[in-house]
Amino acid sequence: MSEHINISPSLMTMDLDQFKEQITFLNDRVDSFHIDIMDGHFVPNLSLSPWFIEQTRKLSYKEMSAHLMVTDPTFWVQQLINIKCEVICMPAENLTGIAFRLIDQIHAAGLKAGVVLNPETSVCDIMSYIDILDKITIMTVDPGFAGQRFLGSMLDKITELRKLREEHGYRYCIEMDGSTNKAHWKMIHDAKPDIYIIGRSGLFNLADNIEDSWNLMIAEFEEATGRKFA
| CA distance linking residue 59 with residue 57, whole number of Å | 5
The two beta strands, 195-198 and 2-3, are unpaired
Residue 219 near residue 208 (C-beta atoms within 8 A): no
Q: Is 193 helix (H, G, I), strand (E, B) or coil?
A: coil
Query: Which strand (E) or helix (H) includes residue 116?
Result: strand 112-117
Instruction: Write down the catalytic residue from 15, 17, 28, 36.
Output: 36
Hey, what's the torsion of the CAs at 14, 15, 16, 21, to 10 degrees?
-90
Instruction: Write down the catalytic residue from 72, 156, 177, 190.
Output: 177
Q: Is 208 a catalytic residue?
A: no
Q: At what angle do helices 210-225 and 19-27 cross, to 10 degrees?
A: 50
Residue-level length of the chain:
230
| φ, ψ for residue 34, nearest 5 deg | -105, 125
Q: Is 36 a catalytic residue?
A: yes
114: amino acid identity, one letter: G
| CA distance linking residue 81 with residue 224, whole number of Å | 39
What is the maximal distance between C-alpha atoms in the chain? Answer: 47
Catalytic residue IDs: 36, 177
